[in-house]
Each structure stands twice: as C-alpha cells, then as structure tokens.
Amino acid sequence: MQLRNVLAAARRTIRTHRPLQIAVVIGFWLAGNAIAERTHVPIPGGIIGMALLLALLASGGVRETTVRGGANWFVAEMLLFFVPAVLAILNHPELIGMLGLKVLTLILVSTILVMTVTALTVEFGMRLHAQPTEDHHAAAEPRS
C-alpha cells in the first residue's frame, strides 16, 4: 500500500511541474533511441519513443496531464529548435522576395518532374517485364 501512495505522490508532482513533464517526454525520446540502437530498426529513436508514448496515452497507461505542460512548452518554443534555419534566411534576405519565390517554384516543379519521370519509368519497366518475349513463345511451342 505504501508503494501505491509513493506512486500517486510522484504522479501529482509530475502533473504540477513542467520541468518534470519535459523530462518525461525526453525520457520517452531516450527510451526510443535505446530501442532503435538495440533492435537496429531503420526508424529514428525519437519516432519510436513518441509512438511508445502515444500507445501509453491511448491505452491509459499514461495520463495526458502527465505530459501536457511539457508538450505545450515544446510546441510553444518550437521556433527555438529552428533557429539555424531562421538565421540562414536572415543572412540571405533576397530569399524572402521574388528570388525566393522563383527558387521555391523551381524546387516544386523539379520535384514533381522527378517524381513523374520516376513513376513513368517504373511503370514502363514493370510493363516491359510483364510482357512475354518472343524467345519465350518460341521455347513454349512444341517443335514438330
């Protein structure tokens, strides 16, 4: 019974202290990294950790209030995690104007073209592979 009281007190403490909630989220991230390293799956550890947290949230193993404050802090401070990208844009203000629009258009159009050509090439290869060759017809016919 004493263990139950200790766990309940720990849960209450975590729910009221944002730094502890942040630590819980980071703990799931670290657990996911450990799982990815040990199992050698080609999935980033952060994704595994967040999937584990999602599964526990969905099953009721972890209550939303246990991580809500920490998760809200991560979302509110997300720009902090993208500071290098923001600084790169600030160092190149020409990318914000017409040049940036041209570069963005070029990236989008070239991506669409590469995806289309790749899809058509794969489709052509699959059709070519599925068609029987004349050698197969000749070998399949009985000789008289």
The pLDDT tens digits along the chain (144 residues) read 688 888 778 777 887 888 888 888 899 999 999 999 999 998 888 899 999 999 999 998 888 888 888 888 888 887 777 677 667 777 777 777 888 889 889 999 999 999 999 999 999 989 888 887 665 555 555 555
Q: Please, which residues have CB within 8 angstroms of residue 95's CB and are 6 or more apart in sequence?
A: 89, 103
Asked whether 11 and 67 are in contact (CB, 8 A), the reply is no
Instruction: Say how many residues make up the chain.
Output: 144
Residue where the block lists tokens 């595994």: 48
Q: Which residues contact 19 (CB under 8 A, 6 or more apart)?
A: 70
- Helix intervals (H) in the chain: 2-16, 18-39, 45-59, 68-76, 78-81, 83-91, 98-130, 134-140
Sign, Cα dihedral of 25, 26, 28, 33: positive
